[in-house]
Amino acid sequence: MTREPTVAEQSHPNYVKVWGVLVALLAVSVVGPMFEIKLVTLVTAFGVAILKAYLVARNFMHLHIERRYVTYLLVGMVALMLLLFAGVAPDVMKHEGHQWKNEAAQKVVRDAAPAAKVH
Amino acid sequence: MLTRYVEAASSYAQDIDGLITLITVLVGFWFLVAQAVLFGLIFRFRAKQGVKAQYISGEEKSQKRWVTIPHMLVLVCDVFIIVGAVRVWTDVKQTLPPADHTVRIVSQQWAWTFIQPGPDGKLDTEDDIKTIDELHVKEGATYHFQLLSRDVLHSFSVPAFRLKQDAVPGRLITGWFKPTRPGAYDIQCAEICGIGHGIMAARLFVETPEEHQKWMEKLSPVARAPTPQAEAEQENTPPAEGASAGAGAE
Amino acid sequence: MSASAPAGTDSSAPHGHPEEGFFRKYLWSTDHKIIAMQYLLTGMAMALIGGFTVYAFRMQVAFPGESVPGFGQVTPGAYNALVTSHGTVMIFWVAMPVLIAAFGNYLIPLMIGCDDMVFPRLNRLSYQIFLLSAVVFIATFFVDGGAFGGAWTAYPPLSTKPEYSLTPLGAPLWLIAVALEFVAFLIGGINFVTTVMNSRAPGMKMFDVPIVVWMIIAASILFMASIGPLIAGAMMMLMDQLAGTHFYDPTQGGDPVLWQHLFWFFGHPEVYVVLFPALGIVAEVITVFARKKLFAYKTVLYTAIGTCVLSFFVWAHHQFVAGIDPRMANVFSVTTLLISVPIAEMLFVFIATLYGGSIRLATPMLWALAFLVEFLLGGVTGIFLGASAADIYFHDTYFVVAHFHYTFFPIAFIAVFAGLTYWFPKMFGRMMNETLGKIHFWGTVIPFNFIFIPLFITGASGDHRRIYNYNHFPDLARPELQDLRVLATVALVVLLAFQLVFLVNFFWSMRKGRKAEANPWKANTLEWAAASPPPHGNFAELPTVYRGPYEYSVPDRPDDYWPQHMPG
Amino acid sequence: MKPIATTRSATGIPTGRLAVWWVMASEIVIFGGLLAAYVMHRLGHPEWSNQAIHTNTWLGALNTLVLLTSSLFAVLAHQAAEHGEGRKAARLLLATAGGALVFLVVKSFEWSHEIAAGYTLTSNTFWSFYYTAAGLHAVHVIAGLVIMLVVAADAAKNRELQRVELIGLYWHFVDIVWIFLFPLLYIAK
């Protein structure tokens, strides 16, 4: 079943170059956290991860030339996960709240050896 | 309105019953209107010989008004209910009035254990009074309860008090109630907790201050006697986490 | 969006099929209609199990301690297993397969004018995984320790620790069965959505698609979006049960409340997943039997999409008193009361459709109208539970049970009977018997109210759910409450008995019913353009669509219907 | 013999690709649910960094590099398939599959060392999440590997060339999941 040449034919990014950028970003995300600075770690590790995900999605998955609602669908699902996190974190992440205390979890945190360095 | 089915024996029972009455009125009105319109239309527009149905797209403003106006009114009723609900909820679940007494409620697979401070008024002291499946409280006093579970989810539910709070293993949940009518009321478990869930019945006795005092004296001197003392001692260590497997009913 | 495939290939005669034996034709078929029948019959068989389990434990509640005829002595462990199995079977193995998979598989290709689903083999695979899940679930009754007894919500630690649930094999098997069912519906859902998005008949624009197809698609998308976290949660629970991890054990860094959140994040969209197909069926039946255009088609569509989005913001109203932070309850109470508004609007639209109609009370229409009547009470009593403070009293009482039966019973039975009696002529080429239909209708709807109105009252009086024997509670052992429980059980037995009338009518008419022509109800949608029952490949000539599905009683036209595929 | 339904494309997106987007949407919420649960627990238990120290960041980084390269081969295979060069697409798909194999080898090497050092699935809830998340991802890598070999076999005979793009899309998704798993499991020390 031959495919008629899609409009993507012309706007194919140079894949090897994109790959190079991704590898460079990988190096950044490995080196960054070595400085033990919390903010630097956050930016290099997680910021870079989001950037790499964007590059793969845009250039390798051709989302930039795909129908717009496909991107809305995928981003919508990610937003749903943030909503889940927002709704559940006050109960699971925190071990204390309004008129309740998660004593067992607090005990687990207290008993563990003091963290070498707080992440 | 709810008191026709269950007694109101705590201070906030009236607030919750009032909210339920408000909801019944608002929701009942819309229910009856909708049913009346529905049956009216069925009867009015039943198939008659030679009468064709009308062609109404419902897209024009004038036609859609028939749906959007009730739609808005329902929204307005919802706002009233929300305001009522949030107000009562903050009184019952989000504020802790100063406590005259505190009781620790320990739920486990298939029994309720109540630990009340003895005459010295402080928990975790020798003279604590520990009762199984029986809770004696004084009418008119504000009680804080510390609710915890030793094994699975349970739920401390006193219908007469309009009180319900799940006991989650690992969590200590505080709440309050203030008994207002002497009498004996049911305590039920409202969260399925295994084969004994249906037999986890306990009784809650609301006594006048004098009766309560008599009960306290009757129990605490007896509690001085060695045997229950040692037993109370052993039981009284703060609730061990990771409770022993499936402790049978006391 | 014109169809890119050239029209020529569309109208070619459907590809012929070599003559197939019984196995290939019925058990190994990739024809969407056969797969729909497989889902329907499996769903009906599981409904018998669901019916039997509720009979057994209701008899125990009404006549505590006595041996139940047909079951024997109901022990506390058996009671919990029966309650759990009733809930699980009725939602996962009756409501979802019949409403989404059976009606979806049967109607979608026919109503959008194409010959089959886009992935026929994947469609067959999803049924086979579903059948496997049903078999695994039935196996839980026979493993030692008995079936899982921790309610269909399977809250840990009761569900993860065998020493608490006392069903070491029942719990993991239950979870595996439910997980398999999720996989089946994930695969099925993707098939449905892709088919409707891509394979609509030429000329069928977005607003020419019948509401029932839209609703089944909305249900599939809602299911796919909400099931993810629960699949992750189920995997974590399975490892807690079998591999000894501690995801839900608070003393080892886990949290039981996490499962409740993951479960209800799926749980509430799930009730709309089963509600939407039912609303779609009711919309189709009402418009045909009132000979009226659906009132405000776009409003129904946008309200449905609005409900889908809003349904992800309400889940914690199941957990007001479950140990979540009380401040969160206010947020969820507001969103819960807001979501009752679009549902109310959809019901208003269906009622408004009746205005100016010419209503013929054939059996399908009776069922559709009964759905509106009963579902109104179901929706209305939800407000009591959505208001956080009132839920303190009503949570986990029989008031909640009565509320969700006034929504689930119309969804899973009344709407399904409306759909079955309406599409029976298309499925089997024969009409169902009207008198038997009416006997079954009144014999179901009247007892149904006599079951759950008493349960509203016992619930308001303090009856809690899943209690084995109410005599243990002095306040509840009052004779007038016990009479209500007995009344509910007797009404249940009457209701179950009348279902025999339906089974007789269903299987007898399949062979002996009056012959039905292609369009017995004079409806507009495309499935009535095919023969009854449609051959493999559905249409002799694939239809082209010229107008919307609800052009009934168009002024200055001789007959009061105008099929979608009829040119100008 | 496909039904006519599969050939239609009212949305302009070929049916296969449309289905893959929907598969990806449901995979996002599955991995999303698991990672949300992990992040919540991780932020709630700062002491887990005592456990997280023992994850081998270098092997994680190597695996990320392997998957990125494998993704490159996948998109080159898709480009070849678009030009109708079935044999070239098949060879590139095999290279992608090779990347998957290397990934699995590195992971099994990494896991065997961690388990030997006593960090098993049940030793701590951090490790439970670590093995569950990375395990689920590994299962997806294996599934992608198998499908890739089947698609490559067809592509070599110039049949079903559009499937090269579909398996490529799935593979990029598996790569993106690992792009997020890497910092969460390996860098958050």
Q: What is the ipTM of this complex?
A: 0.91
pLDDT digits (tens, 9 = 90+) for D38-47: 999 999 999 9
Exposure b/e, D24-55, CB count within 10 A at least 16 = b: bbbbbbbbbbbbbbbbbbbebbebbbbbbeeb
- The yes-or-no verdict on residue C412 having pLDDT over 90 is yes
Residues A41, A23 share a domain: yes
Q: What's the pLDDT at A11? A: 61
pLDDT digits (tens, 9 = 90+) for C79-132: 999 999 999 999 999 999 999 999 999 999 999 999 999 999 999 999 999 999
Q: What's the pLDDT at C295? A: 92
- The yes-or-no verdict on residue C345 having pLDDT over 50 is yes
Domain residue spans in chain C? Answer: 26-529
State how far the alpha carbon of C268 is from the alpha carbons of B110, C24, C311, C313, in Å.
30, 39, 7, 9
CATH level 2 (architecture), domain C26-529: Up-down Bundle (1.20)
Q: How far apart are CA D69 and CA A19, in angstroms?
A: 7
Residues A78, A94 share a domain: yes
Q: How far apart are CA C332 and CA C316, in angstroms?
A: 6
Q: How far apart are CA C299 and CA C97, in angstroms?
A: 28
Domain residue spans in chain B? Answer: 2-94, 101-235
Cβ separation of A91 and C328 shorter than 8 Å? yes
The mean pLDDT of C450-466, rounded to a whole number, is: 95
Which of chain D's residues have a Cβ under 8 Å away from the Cβ of A16?
A: 72
Would residue A7 count as lying in a domain? no
Residues A77, A52 share a domain: no
Percentage of chain D beyond pLDDT 70 is: 99
Q: What's the pLDDT at B220? A: 65
pLDDT digits (tens, 9 = 90+) for A41-54: 888 888 999 999 99
Q: What's the pLDDT at B218? A: 82
Mean pLDDT of chain A: 84
Q: What CATH topology corresponds to B101-235? A: Immunoglobulin-like (2.60.40)
CATH code for D15-187? 1.20.120.80
Chain C interface includes B155 (CB < 8 A): yes
Q: How far apart are CA A85 and CA B186, in angstroms?
A: 38
Range of A86's domain? 69-113
Q: What's the pLDDT at A44? A: 87
Mean pLDDT of chain B: 86
Pick C359's closest partner by Cβ from B20, B47, B155: B47
Q: What's the pLDDT at A2? A: 44
Which of chain A's residues have a Cβ under 8 Å away from the Cβ of C252?
A: 108
The mean pLDDT of C260-269, rounded to a whole number, is: 96
Residue closest to C342 by CA, chosen among B25, B78, B40: B78
**Which has the higher per-residue pLDDT, B93 or C12?**
B93
Q: What's the pLDDT at D11? A: 87
Residues A75, A57 share a domain: no
The mean pLDDT of D158-184, rounded to a whole number, is: 94
Cβ separation of C229 and A84 shorter than 8 Å? yes
Mean pLDDT of chain C: 93
Q: What's the pLDDT at C3? A: 35
Residues A89, A44 share a domain: no
Report yes or no: C271 and C338 within 8 Å, Cβ to Cβ. no
- The SS3 of residue B62 is helix
How far C226 CA lies from chain D's nearest CA (Å)? 8
Chain B interface includes A107 (CB < 8 A): yes
Question: Which residues, 6 or more positions from B191, have their beta carbon under 8 angstroms from its beta carbon?
Answer: B153, B154, B155, B166, B167, C155, C322, C396
Cβ separation of B171 and A104 shorter than 8 Å? yes
- Mutation choice for B interface testing from C349, C396, C463 by most B CBs within 10 A: C396
Residues A59, A21 share a domain: yes
- The yes-or-no verdict on residue C2 having pLDDT over 60 is no
Mean pLDDT of chain D: 93
Pick A104's closest partner by Cβ from B94, B170, B174: B170
Residues A18, A57 share a domain: yes
Pick D25's closest partner by Cβ from A29, A74, A93: A74
State how far the alpha carbon of A48 is from the alpha carbons of A44, C371, C552, D176, in Å.
5, 54, 58, 12
- The residues of chain B scoring below 50 in pLDDT are 222-250
Number of domains in chain A: 2
